[in-house]
Amino acid sequence: MAGSNASTVVTTLVDHPVCTDALARIRDRDTPNALFRQNLERIGGLLIAEATRELPTVDGTVETPLTTAPARRIAVQPVVVPILRAGLGFVGPAQSLLPNADVGFIGMARNEQTHQPEPYVNKLPESLAGRPVIVLDPMVATGGSLVATLHLLLERDAPEPITVVCALAAPEGIETLERAGLSVRLFTAAVDDRLNENAFIVPGLGDAGDRQFGAPA
């Protein structure tokens, strides 16, 4: 694992062998949807485990069948926020690791007049104050939808830095986050080469939503 700092964005590459193996499988164009989903969940579990390493804990005790033992528990349950629809692929591993976390949902679509992302789903707790927030989005391409999502979270008093978990990121998306002046901890399995003329990550893995759920009719 290696980390690198920018002025407002800290990017951590998680290079665990299981993560890199799963990444190879989801990059493969011949991987069927079911196997793609399975391996996306493998990556998600490892990334979320690393992203939650610094969650605050509280000391206490627990009664074992034999005696009393010291115990540490998560002090404040986080809020997990997948960006629809691709982010749904990380919800399963997030709930496995954080069964008591709340889950919010954000869906973004481009306004054809302004060409800016706008929410079509916004299901968040009324206040995020004092609660760690983890955004799930398998691919950070241009970064526009992610920045819009982060602003929605800040409007509900989400504490910074906000944690973002993605399988792949493009350099252009990371630059967008930096220009936005937000405080972000980004955990990813790879930072790829670039975006192509259609804003797809290269080498990438195609469309993460379509490869999980099939192309929309």
Active site includes 207? Answer: yes
- pTM for the model stands at 0.91
With a pLDDT cut of 90, the percent of the chain lying above it is 86
Give me the catalytic one of 64, 67, 68, 114: 114
Active site includes 210? Answer: yes
- Quote the mean pLDDT of the chain: 92
Give me the catalytic one of 21, 28, 157, 207: 207
Active site includes 110? Answer: yes
- What burial class does residue 140 get, using C-beta atoms within 10 Å of its C-beta: 0-12 exposed, 13-18 middle, 19+ buried? buried
Give me the catalytic one of 85, 102, 156, 210: 210
Torsion angle of the four alpha carbons 50, 137, 181, 150, in this order, in degrees rounded to the nearest 10: -110
- H or E, element range at 76: none
200-212, pLDDT tens digit by residue? 999 999 999 999 9
- Kindly tell me if the per-residue pLDDT of 76 is higher than 70: yes
For 160, phi then psi, to 5°, come to: -95, 150
Query: Which three-class secondary structure state does DSSP give residue 174?
Result: helix
Q: What's domain 2-56+76-202's architecture?
A: 3-Layer(aba) Sandwich (3.40)
Q: Tell me, what amino acid is at 171? A: P
Give me the catalytic one of 15, 21, 61, 110: 110
Minimum mean pLDDT range among 49-63, 111-125, 151-165: 111-125
Strand 133-136 versus strand 9-13 pairing type: unpaired
pLDDT class of 137 with cuts at 50, 70, 90: very high
- Kindly tell me if the per-residue pLDDT of 4 is higher than 50: no
* Residue 2 to residue 107: CA distance in whole angstroms: 31
Tell me 81's DSSP state: E
End-to-end CA distance of the chain: 40
| Predicted pLDDT of residue 6 | 42
pLDDT class of 115 with cuts at 50, 70, 90: low
